[in-house]
Amino acid sequence: AARMRTVAFDKTGVLTQGEPKVVHVVCLNGRSEGEVLGRLAALESASTHPLADAVRRYARERGVGAGRVSGFQNLLGRGAEAEVEGEYFWAGSLRMMEERGFAAGEVLERLPEGDRRSGSLVVCGTREQVWAVLVIDDPVRDEAGRSLERLRGLGVERVVMLTGDNGPTAERVGRQLGVNEVHAELMPSDKAAAVERLRGAGGHVTMVGDGVNDAEAMAAANLSVALGSGGFDAVLETADVVFLSGGLTRLPFLLRHARRTAAVIRQNVVLALALKAAFLGLAVVGWATLWMAVAADMGATLLVTLNGLRLLHARVN
């Protein structure tokens, strides 16, 4: 942690609040909002993704109940699919839509330009047609800008965003926070490959994430940091550091404290060796005694212990 120079962040739930809200639903091909929300609420009922929570809340607020669902499958980094009301139904990213044979350009051109950039896009439909596009907004964390600025002040040279979200939304958040590089529409394996490239370019890479989509990238980093106590087991097991509270404000503290710890370790090594060298010199000239040896050994132990205890007084600013 003391060598932190490049920091890569996931977006949703890390740089953003992780409490997304559906802004509105753009229905396509003659579908009604109630019809779309009923299918979506059923599909997302088994999902733990933050965007799924937003869809379920939006449906409840409008009094739309969930339909019957079976055969749910979570498609890592893409979305989800299941049989809803006896018919195949899917929901996920633009990439998932393209994998099902629908052209992203034809769908996006039916959205206002502002919608394409104002939030995350979730597309849903059946095998035959796209039913709707949901525009979902997830505000930036209040502390994100300050925390990134403090990291730069502490010598972090490169701040990178790795996200599965669409490009325009990711670029907007990146500009808002002053991120050096934005890599969007990434699969979990793409995030891991991006971390490997950052490591190959030189420097110590720290990956900050909070979801199962980040586990692979976190494992590839020199240091991995997980936010929140309610994360997935795979993430918590992979992470070297877990922040149970405080969010991103803990990251500059981690860097400062790690550097201070490294400095104290160096001081203790020098102090212990200096005392040993001094006693060795006294022994060579015949001035050392057994009690002096005991005092030197115990004294060195006490000094390095007391010096190390100074780290207990660290405080988060």
Question: Which of the residues are catalytic?
Answer: 10
User: CB of 100 within 8 A of CB of 90?
Assistant: yes
Cβ atoms of 130 and 29 within 8 Å: the answer is: yes
Measured CA to CA, the distance from residue 152 to residue 203 in angstroms comes to: 15
Instruction: Give the integer Cα–Cα distance in Å for 52 and 21.
Output: 10
DSSP labels for 210-235?
-SGGGHHHHHHSSEEEEE-SS--HHH
Return the DSSP state at 140: B
Pairing of strands 79-84, 87-92: antiparallel
CA 237 to CA 226: how far, in whole Å?
10
Write down the H helix ranges in the chain: 33-44, 50-61, 94-99, 104-108, 113-118, 144-153, 167-177, 188-200, 215-220, 233-238, 250-284, 290-309
CA distance 88 to 284: 86
39: nearest Cα among 49, 25, 50: 25
Closest CA to 3 of 147, 197, 157, 144: 157
CB 239 within 8 A of CB 226: yes
CB-based contact 108:123 (threshold 8 Å): no
CA distances from 178 to 15, 173, 265 (A): 12, 8, 34
